[in-house]
Amino acid sequence: EPEVTQTPSHQVTQMGQEVILRCVPISNHLYFYWYRQILGQKVEFLVSFYNNEISEKSEIFDDQFSVERPDGSNFTLKIRSTKLEDSAMYFCASSEGVLAASSDTQYFGPGTRLTVL
């Protein structure tokens, strides 16, 4: 069964450093997403991406964040200058988006745990 994969599983970085989190969505999917879950809190939407551009983003997704689909398979989330409060589990998801995107199921990857020291 196709799965969303994410690398690395755990990333430790120093405050102020740039990090890139990588995701490989399910191959025939057209919509891609990033969510995050700060320890003990809800899963929060960050951004959605369709047709090589951001289709929606949350207030969390400020200028420090960017997303890219550098090739036909990868989808990345970059944090330019990490802060302590960026420490969280980051989940990538994808959905088919062929017909009514609102009824699509989003399939999630296993997550990348980001620790900012």
Partner 1 sequence: AQSVAQPEDQVNVAEGNPLTVKCTYSVSGNPYLFWYVQYPNRGLQFLLKYITGDNLVKGSYGFEAEFNKSQTSFHLKKPSALVSDSALYFCAVRDLSGGYNKLIFGAGTRLAVHP
**Residue ranges binding partner 1 (CB under 8 A):** 4, 6, 31, 33, 35, 41-45, 48, 50, 55-56, 58, 91, 93, 100-103, 105-111
Shortest CB 10 distance to partner 1, Å: 10
Pairing of strands 75-79, 53-57: unpaired
Q: Give the nearer residue to partner 1 in terms of CB position, either 12 or 81.
A: 12
Shortest CB 109 distance to partner 1, Å: 5
Q: Give the nearer residue to partner 1 in terms of CB position, either 10 or 81.
A: 10
- Structural tokens at position 35: 């969510």
Shortest CB 42 distance to partner 1, Å: 5
Cα–Cα distance for residue pair 42/21, rounded to 1 Å: 20
Cα–Cα distance for residue pair 90/25, rounded to 1 Å: 14
Contact 41, 60 (CB under 8 A): no
Range 39-43, long-range pairs (CB < 8 A, 24+ positions): 39/87, 39/88, 39/89, 43/91
Shortest CB 61 distance to partner 1, Å: 11
Q: Give the nearer residue to partner 1 in terms of CB position, either 75 or 107.
A: 107
Q: Give the nearer residue to partner 1 in terms of CB position, either 14 or 100.
A: 100
